[in-house]
Amino acid sequence: MTAHKVCPWWLGYFLASPLRRLLQNPEKIIAPYLQPGMRVLEPGPGMGFFTIPAARLVGDKGRVFAVDVQPKMLRELQHRAEKAGLGSRIETRLVESESMPLADLAASIDFALVFAVAHEVPDVLNFFKQISATLKPGANILFVEPAGHVSENAFSEEVAAAGNAGLRHVASPDVRGHSALLQKMVREEFATGKSR
Ligand SMILES: C[S@@+](CC[C@H](N)C(=O)[O-])C[C@H]1O[C@@H](n2cnc3c(N)ncnc32)[C@H](O)[C@@H]1O
């Protein structure tokens, strides 16, 4: 069973705390997928545990779009980004839980990070469809869910929903929790149900 309760804003401070690095090293987790100049989408960034390292890794020509349903998460994220001198590389957007205004990003994103957020979303298929529409063909999503909140079965259902949104499961990276590397299928593959 998945819960659709949104993580309280004050928990954002714990999630972005340096202590978390003892369990999860954000640079190590995302660096394999990022290069300078890339455009990254991060739905549910919280206070930026991954956003700030991502902004460093994409360099001054890259951009990270961080979209969240809670203004307090985004305000603190922006504050931390400014403090780190990375404010100009990060764009925050406040979104509705069922609808993310991302039409201007259509087919322009190189990589998306969906970390510990899908179980908070009311309609996972719709969520992945909206993310999928922003991705360039062949772009990757690193999708991770916390094992404490999400069962193996629930995670498989979420990965299946991602498949129905045109996102193929291509690998299972070694990240604490449940993890899947998804790849945006090209239109023909999705239409015919064929995988490369
Ligand atoms: C458990 S926190 C994870 C934060 C961050 N990804 C991390 O790993 O540190 C989940 C975040 O997702 C956000 N969220 C929940 N539902 C969302 C939705 N439908 N769209 C975007 N963000 C959402 C919450 O406000 C919260 O910031």
Encode pLDDT of 108-138 as tens digits. Answer: 999 999 999 999 999 999 999 999 999 999 9
CB 196 within 8 A of CB 189: yes
C-alpha 146 – ligand 1 centre gap (Å): 12
CB distance 115 to ligand 1 below 6 Å: yes
**What is the DSSP secondary-structure string of the chain?**
----PPPPTTHHHHHTSGGGGGT--HHHHHGGG--TT-EEEEES-TTTTTHHHHHHHH-TT-EEEEEES-HHHHHHHHHHHHHTT-GGGEEEEE-BTTB---GGGTT-EEEEEEES-GGG-S-HHHHHHHHHHHEEEEEEEEEEE-TTTS-HHHHHHHHHHHHHTTEEEEE----SSEEEEEEEPPHHHHHHT---
CB distance 42 to ligand 1 below 6 Å: no
Encode pLDDT of 11-58 as tens digits. Answer: 999 999 999 999 999 999 999 999 999 999 999 999 999 999 999 999
Gap between the Cα atoms of 50 and 4, Å rounded: 22
Q: Which are the contacts of 122, defined by CB distance < 8 A and separation ≥ 6?
A: 4, 97, 98
The minimum-distance atom of ligand 1 relative to the CA of 98 is 19
The minimum-distance atom of ligand 1 relative to the CA of 113 is 6
The full set of domains in the chain, from first to last, is: 9-21+34-192 (3.40.50.150)
Taking CA 116 as the corner, what is the angle to CA 40 and CA 88, rounded to the nearest 5 degrees? Answer: 30
* Probe residue for ligand 1, chosen from 69, 127, 145, 150 as the CB with the greatest number of ligand atoms within 8 Å: 69
Range of lowest pLDDT (20-24, 54-58, 59-63, 157-161): 20-24
DSSP lists the bridge partners of residue 169 as 182
A 10 A CB-CB count for 15 gives 18
pLDDT at 186: 82
Gap between the Cα atoms of 191 and 48, Å rounded: 36
Put simply, whether the predicted model's pTM sits higher than 0.85 gets the answer yes
pLDDT at 98: 85
CB distance 117 to ligand 1 below 6 Å: yes
